[in-house]
Amino acid sequence: MIKVLVVEDSPVVREFLVHILNSDPELRVVGTATDGEDALEAVKSKKPDVITMDIHMPKMDGFEATRKIMETHPMPIVIVTGSSSAAEVANTFHALEAGALSVIPRPKGIGHPEYERTARELIQTVKLMSEVKVVRRWPQLRKKPAISSTLKTTIERAAQEIRIVAIGASTGGPIALQTILSQLPAGFPVPVVIVQHMASGFIEGFVEWLAQSSGLPVHVASHGEHLQPGHIYVAPDGFHMGVGAGDRLMLSTQEAENGLRPAVCYLFRSVAEFYGRNAIGVLLTGMGRDGAEGLRLMREKGAITVAQDEQTSVVYGMPREALELDAAVYVLPPQRIAGLLVSLAERKRRETNHEIPEESQKR
The rounded mean pLDDT for the chain is: 89
Name the residue type at position 17: L
In the chain, ranges of CATH 3.40.50.180 domains: 149-353
Rounded distance, CA 341 to CA 319, Å?
Answer: 19
Comparing 32 with 134, the larger pLDDT belongs to: 32
CATH homologous superfamily of 2-130 equals: Response regulator (3.40.50.2300)
| Candidate list 38, 49, 290, 309, residue with the active-site label | 290
pLDDT at residue 50 greater than cutoff 60: yes
pLDDT of residue 360: 36
Q: What is the DSSP string of 91-158?
A: HHTHHHHHT--EEEEPPPPTTSTTHHHHHHHHHHHHHHHHT-------PPPSSPPP--HHHHHHHHHH
> 5 has which bridge partners?
31, 51
**pLDDT band for position 332 (50/70/90)?**
very high
Overall pTM > 0.75: yes
DSSP state of 286: B
The pLDDT of residue 351: 64
Which among 170, 214, 313, 343 is annotated as catalytic?
170
Specify whether 170 is catalytic.
yes
76-to-5, 16, 23, 253, 293 alpha-carbon distances in Å: 11, 21, 21, 33, 29
User: Is 56 annotated as catalytic?
Assistant: no
What pLDDT sits at residue 86?
80
- The pLDDT value recorded for residue 152 is 65
Topology of the domain comprising 149-353 = Rossmann fold (3.40.50)
Q: Give the tens place of pLDDT for each residue, 234-260.
A: 999 999 999 999 999 999 999 999 889
Q: Where in the chain are all domains bearing CATH 3.40.50.2300?
A: 2-130
pLDDT in tens, 335-349: 999 988 888 777 766
Whether omega before 262 lies within 30 degrees of 0, making that bond cis, reads yes
Catalytic choice (35, 49, 130, 197):
197
155, 344 contact by CB (below 8 A): yes
pLDDT of 362 over the 50 cut: no
User: To which H or E segment does residue 32 belong?
Assistant: strand 27-33
Question: How much is the pLDDT for 132?
Answer: 84
